[in-house]
Structure 1
Amino acid sequence: CGWGSTEREGGTYLPAVVPPAEQVFSQIMQLFETGGAQQAGNSTRAGLVRNLCMLFEAADCQWLFGSGCPKVLGDVVVALSDYAALAKQEADTGDPRSDAAYAAAADRTADVSLLFLSLLAKVEASKDAENLGIGAVRPFLGLVAGPIYIFAVTHGAEGPWSHPRTRSRAWELLNTLLQTVGCQSAAEFLRGQREEEEGWFAKVMQLLKPELKKETWKLSPATKYVFAWTLQQVTWPWLGPQLESVLPPSLLISDDYRVENKILGVQCLNHIILNVPAAELCQFNWAQVVYHALYNHLHTREAQLIQVVLPCLLDLLPVLERSPLQQRRKPRPPTPCDKVLQLVLTHMEAEHLLLLRRAYARNLPAFVERLGIRITRHLKRLERVIVGYLEVYDGPEETARLGILETLKCTIQHAWPRMACRLAVLLQALLRMVWDVAVDRSPTPEPVKAALLQGATECLILLDRCSEGQVKVLLEGVSHSCEDERVQECIRKVQAEPEPQLILPTA
């Protein structure tokens, strides 16, 4: 940057006549965007970035942040962020970029990160400088904090576009930015230090908005991760006012055909459900829109997706079923929870993939607890599912059978008046499972076997209570015909149980 530079003692160069900073950065912007640097190639542009970094380090704070300069400096920051970004994909055909393209992007990112660090260091120094202070650099921070945050989060995420060296430098840049604006964490930066204070979340979402449209969100592989990470930093009550800006992108990502995008979108929706008041979710029928989007995912054959969809639905169902009018109607009409459980039981009954069986069984007890006594509407199909799942060995961790035992326990507690007529089927299934576990010679850990036997014993005790002692009578014949010590121990625990330790809910 040699505007009439003259050498002084020590071999350093200073401009003979220092032009205004606004003029200098305007000329650099013209050279960077439309001049010979762009025509000469990336090597010349990289040289400009390094020279600009040295200029920031050597510049006087008063000259750098004088009147009229913050706007131009903000444009420089945006241009440098675009320079370090990956080239846009032209079509949704995966990520065709080569390792060489990623390496080149990592080099550009490293140079720009150093430049931003130098710029933020100069901002920090300006706070204590004479005739400046925080008031002089606040307009500049208002222009560049959002773009620098997006740049740091983009290149700090783990992905094929980032490198360990660039990731560490990007997180260093983010921490420096937080320190410069006086925040302790990214969450505080986005939401504000106090509830009534406006943070940077709205500005960041405004910057991301053009990249989160239906036609553009897939053009950069990092956009969805920046959005998801940013969203999850903001919690109640700060997220509610931004519902209209965060819900459409979450629905858009969850509606993609790629499983990893669906999972990411559902995770974003779950965060929104947990951190936005129910009244705001019901406004403009947003809750029903989210419900239908999640319900459609129940037809998938991907266990990983099911594992995030079912808990998300469980968090959404209280929002949908909170209507007092619906609760007063007699008889109660089927609720969304009834509809979801009906579809889940239909899939479970015919499911043979162990991963899906585990995902369903792990979440089934929560649906029973959610419905309470209304689980009686589904007892016929639920009984078939329980019996079928208790029969199948589920691998060393026995996740499915443990989940089904917990489901049966909850079902007996809530629908105990209807259990006596199902005693024969359930008792046979439980005893068969106890025998299978007792004689099992597979590598199943002993704690898992003990948990299965304990769960079966608890279910037998509950069945005995709601059948007025019929289980104890039936087990007397089993105790005389079976000599296995574990089976005998299970029977002894049931027969030795005098009074209920758990209070059965009334109908």
Structure 2
Amino acid sequence: MELDCPHETPTREGPAVSRECPPTIALRQAISQILHRLTVGREARRGNVRDAVFQDISAMIEATECETLFEGSGAPNRGMPEMLGELAKALGRYADPPREKEGRSDGHSEVTEKAEEVGLLFLKLLGKVEAAKNSQDCRAWKTGLHHLAGPIYIFAITHTLKQSWTSPRSRDVAREVLAVLLQVTNCGSVARFLRGENEDEKGRFTVIMELLKPDLNKESWKNNPATKHVFSWTLQQVTRPWLNQYLEKILPPSLLISDDYQTENKILGVHCLHHIVLNVPAADLLQYNRAQVLYHAIFNHLYTPEHHLIQAVLLCLLDLFPILEKTLQWKGDTARPTTHCDEVLQLVLTYMEPEHRLLVRRTYARNLPAFVKRLGILTVRHWKRLERVIIGYLEVYDGPEEEARLKILETLKLLIQHTWPRVSCRLVVLLKALLKLICDIATDRSLTPEPIKTALLQEATDCLILLDHCSQGQVKGLLAKSLQSCEDSKVVDCLRKVQQVPEGAPWDGT
């Protein structure tokens, strides 16, 4: 590529332009031509033309001295650092994956090739920055790095994450770019790169969000399938006490992604919202009713049957409840107000009772103990429905791992411990369900591993012991005849454990 330096001509700006050194003028002209070829028309996407463009950029970087590459930040138009920043943005966009259409992704093999080429160019640019840092003659490298760091970071994260548009080779190049970027910026980790080394130091998170902002609005966020992943991954690198200062920048895109019709995007958005809940002070979330907005946005996802989404939603809600309930005040002379936790548990139990899909049943059962712990004695409000769910789930085989039944037994133990005054009137129903489970497990000839069977029998026995404590020894009396007539050794062993617990002996949780 021929680079011609224009003749000096007088301008209204005065002699400033004429005093500018010819290498800088030639370099600006070269960058302008390259930007034009990268951004205008489809010529740059053709193989031969693309190779020529990258060869020109590579040759330009190698041939230019550090002083020339980073000088001119005070020029009348745009200085070299600003132009390098524009070049970095254009190169990053050039290597972006194409928009996904109807769940199919095309052209990803071409994207990986572009990413490798762009990554190598970024390594050369960062090498120039490193050389400028070590040179006493070039002091403008910080300005150059300021304009380069954001676009290079976004490129690196786009192609470091394991996605359909990346390959092992492109990920290796992107990881190397990220490592060199952190080295040049003197940051020991991505988190420090984004938030600064300490609370008082300003990081680059704001710069990154400003660069992502045009692609994170309602009309454009699906144009580039990498944007949501870069945003989510970047967000989760920033934690307390830094994250709250960026709340206005991160909350709208998180809600936008979670509100999508695709389950994958819903889960990604909920993970972002969960990170915000965990790392932003409650006072900031309660301000302007943000916590309520979060609650309603997340709660609506419980109506979907996808077990991965339900798991993400329930975990997020369980961490949001303490924040929402800070505003609730209970006066001793009135009934305690119904909480958001009550509302969610009521809906969960409504869906659990008729649910037949094993993966969804396991997801609900996995989170049920946390709700009982959260509500404590107030779980009595849901006793009737919990009883039906517990008995129904204990009757159904859940596969070799028996995750659902183990979690239901854990729930029952917690329920007895927290609401023991109400247990005696349900003693017979619960006793029958537990004895039936013990007999089923003892005679089970399925592929369930022996350690799992042992765990189930132990949990069921613990529940019987708790029931006996709550009923002042009634369980021992009811089991006496069964112990005499039972012939199965495993069942007898469980019943004897209950009988051998002395009256009034201390027991966990009672």
**Is TM > 0.5 for Structure 1 vs Structure 2?**
yes
Counterpart code for 2:85: G
Show the counterpart of 2:339: 335
Q: Is the 8 A contact 2:3 2:29 kept in 1?
A: no
Contact 2:70 2:143 in 1 (8 A): no
Query: For residue 387 of structure 2, what is the aligned residue in structure 1?
Result: 383
Q: Does 1:440 align with 2:444?
A: yes
State the secondary structure of the residue aligned to 1:122: helix
Among residues 99, 117, 130, which one is paired with 2:123 in the alignment? 117
Quickly say closer, same or farther: Cα 1:436–1:240, change in 2 above 3 A: same
Query: What does the per-residue CA deviation read over 1:287-342, in whole Å, with 9 as the maximum and x for residues that have no partner?
Result: 11111111111111111111111111101111111125246672111110111111
Q: Is the contact between residue 379 and residue 415 of structure 2 (CA under 8 Å) also seen in structure 1?
A: yes
Q: Does 1:472 align with 2:476?
A: yes
1:326-375 alpha-carbon deviations (Å, 9 max, x no partner): 46672111110111111111111111111111000010000000000000
Root-mean-square deviation over aligned CA pairs? 2.0
Distance 1:51 1:129 in 2: 25
Shift of 1:4: 8.1
Q: Is the 8 A contact 2:434 2:460 kept in 1?
A: yes
Structure 2 SS opposite 1:233: coil
- Residue 25 (structure 1) shift: 3.0
Confirm or deny that 1:72 pairs with 2:83: yes
> In the superposition, relative to structure 1, how do residues 245 and 464 fare at CA in structure 2: closer, same or farther (>3 Å)?
same
Contact 1:113 1:169 in 2 (8 A): yes
Deviation string 1:167-191 (CA, Å, 9 cap, x unpaired) is 1100110111011000011111111
- Going from structure 1 to structure 2, the CA distance change for 1:22 and 1:364 (only over 3 Å counts) comes to farther
Choose 379-388 or 64-73, whichever is displaced more: 64-73
Quote the residue 2:51 is aligned against. Answer: 46
My pick for the range that moved more, 326-335 or 153-162, is: 326-335
State the secondary structure of the residue aligned to 2:30: helix
Aligned to 2:498: 494
Instruction: Give the direction of change, closer, same or farther, for the CA distance of 1:393–1:22 in structure 2 (3 Å limit).
Output: farther
User: Hey, what's the Cα distance between the residues in 2 that align with 1:41 and 1:404?
Assistant: 61
Q: Is the 8 A contact 1:25 1:72 kept in 2?
A: yes
1:259: how far off? 1.1
Is there any run of 5+ residues in structure 2 with no aligned partner, and where? 6-20, 73-78
Matches within 5 A, 1:296-445: 296-323=300-327, 325-326=329-330, 330-445=334-449
Matched, 1:82 2:82: no
The Cα shift of 1:383 comes to 0.6
- Change over 3 Å in CA distance of 1:234–1:284 after alignment to 2: same
Tell me what 2:102 maps to.
94
2:117 maps to a residue whose letter is D
Q: Quickly say closer, same or farther: Cα 1:254–1:378, change in 2 above 3 A.
A: same
- Give SS of 2:247's match: helix
Specify which of 148, 155, 158 is matched with residue 152 of structure 2: 148
Q: 2:114 aligns with which of 100, 108, 122?
A: 108
Question: Per-residue displacement from partner, 1:140-196 (whole Å, max 9, x unpaired)?
Answer: 111111111001101112222112111110011011101100001111111110011
Counterparts of 1:377 and 1:441, CA distance in 2: 39
Partner residue of 1:9? Answer: none
2: CA distance, partners of 1:304 / 1:291: 18
The CA distance in 1 between the partners of 2:42 and 2:264, in whole Å, is 39
Deviation at 1:37, TM superposition (A): 8.5
> Are positions 1:19 and 2:18 aligned together?
no
1:40 Cα deviation (Å)?
Answer: 4.2
Q: CA deviation at 1:46?
A: 3.0
Paired AA for residue 502 in structure 1 = W
CA distance in 2, matches of 1:295, 1:332: 22
After superposition, what is the alpha-carbon deviation per residue over 1:249-293, rounded to whole angstroms, capped at 9, x for unaligned? 111111111111111111111111111111111111111111111
Question: What are the ranges of 5 or more consecutive residues in structure 1 without an aligned counterpart?
Answer: 6-17
Structure 2 counterpart of 1:58: 63
Aligned to 2:171: 167
Query: How far apart are the structure 2 equivalents of 1:261 and 1:329?
Result: 46
Q: What SS class does the counterpart of residue 140 from structure 2 fall into? A: helix
Letter in 2 for 1:25: R
Match in the other structure for 2:456: 452
C-alpha spacing 1:331/1:56, structure 2 compared with 1 (3 Å) = same
Do the aligned residues in 1 keep the contact of 2:38 with 2:94 (CA within 8 Å)?
no
Asked whether the equivalents of residues 39 and 90 of structure 2 are also in contact (C-alpha less than 8 Å), the reply is no
1:219 is aligned to 2:223: yes
In structure 2, relative to structure 1, the CA distance for the partners of 1:31 and 1:379 (3 Å cut) is: closer
Cα distance between partner residues in 1 of 2:34 and 2:145:
24
**Deviation of the 1:35 alpha carbon:** 9.3
Relative distance call for 1:308 and 1:480 in structure 2 (3 A) is same
Say if 1:152 and 1:170, in contact at 8 Å, map to a contact too. yes
What one-letter code is carried by the residue in structure 1 that aligns with 2:349?
Answer: L
Check the 8 A contact 2:98/2:225 in 1, yes or no. no
State the distance in 2 between where 1:330 and 1:37 align: 70
> 1-side partners of 2:333 and 2:238: how far apart?
38
Aligned match of 2:76: none
Q: Percent identity?
A: 54
Q: Does the 8 A contact of 1:189 with 1:199 survive in 2?
A: yes
